[in-house]
Amino acid sequence: MKNLNHENLLTVLAGTTLAICIVSTALLALPGAVSERRPPHEKLAGAASLVPDTGTVMTCDITAYCPESCCNTAVISGNGVTRIVDWSGRVASGDFTIQVLTAKGIDVAAVDPAVIPYGSIIEYGGRNYIALDTGSAIRGNRIDILLPDHESTVDFGVRRGQTVTVRASKDSRKSLEAIHRFVEGL
Ligand SMILES: [Zn+2]
């Protein structure tokens, strides 16, 4: 969307004087404007070297989930009590809401944090997901990616033996702090 706006702006500018074009190009090249266009995973990667530059190739089974209760309800039994817990709209790694994360352009993945630490960047199918969630069925080399609606998750299905590249967070707590700063626009 931001790239589109950029192009629209350049199209408009094409009809104006060269002087205005030069000034506008200089403004677009300001560091703030450039960093604003960087995708979230690149901002995270650049924050104090929280993830390595190169990733580890892994083979994973990949499924998808949506933000609604259909994909976020777990039955938990203990001490003779059975409870239904509804995590819809939230992620397990912190007090982020899915709404805020997606509004910031963050692609969310649920992982087994014992295998892929929270805050890791997972490249799959040309997208970069950030490991921020988990689930009772997400164990081992299994990744659940967040899609916007339930129908999309059904279409996605179960994709076994997929190749992903994981840039594992070196410090999940610091990675999550960096994501908090990004979400809050600091
Ligand atoms: Zn669902």
What are the residues whose beta carbon lies below 5 Å from ligand 1 (ion)? 66, 68, 70-71, 150
148: CA distance to ligand 1 center in Å? 9
Read off the pLDDT of each residue in 104-122 and give the average, rounded to a whole number.
96
pLDDT of residue 23: 46
Residue 44 confidence (pLDDT):
81
pLDDT per position as a tens digit, 126-148: 999 999 999 988 999 999 999 99
d(CA 186, CA 183): 8
Ligand 1 centroid–CA 136 distance in Å is 15
Share of the chain above pLDDT 70, in %: 79
**pLDDT of 88 over the 50 cut:** yes
Q: 163 CA to middle of ligand 1, Å?
A: 24
Given the structure tokens 């350049």, which residue do they identify?
Answer: 10
- Mean per-residue pLDDT, 18-29: 45
What is the whole-number distance in angstroms between the Cα of residue 129 and the centre of ligand 1?
18
Average pLDDT over residues 19-44: 58
d(CA 36, CA 6): 12
Decide if 147 contacts 65 (C-beta within 8 A): yes
Spacing, Cα 164 to ligand 1 middle (Å): 23
Continuous H helices in 56-171: 98-103, 150-156
Distance 67 CA to ligand 1 centre (A): 6
Taking the centre of ligand 1 as the mean of its atom positions, its distance from the CA of residue 152, in whole angstroms, is: 9
92-107 confidence digits (pLDDT tens): 998 889 999 999 999 9
Q: Counting every residue, how long is the chain?
A: 186
pLDDT per residue over 146-164, tens digit each? Answer: 999 999 999 999 999 999 9
Distance of CA 70 from the midpoint of ligand 1 (Å): 4
Task: State in Å: Cα 153 to ligand 1 middle.
Answer: 7
**pLDDT higher than 70, residue 34:** no
pTM for this prediction: 0.77
178 CA to centre of ligand 1 in angstroms: 28
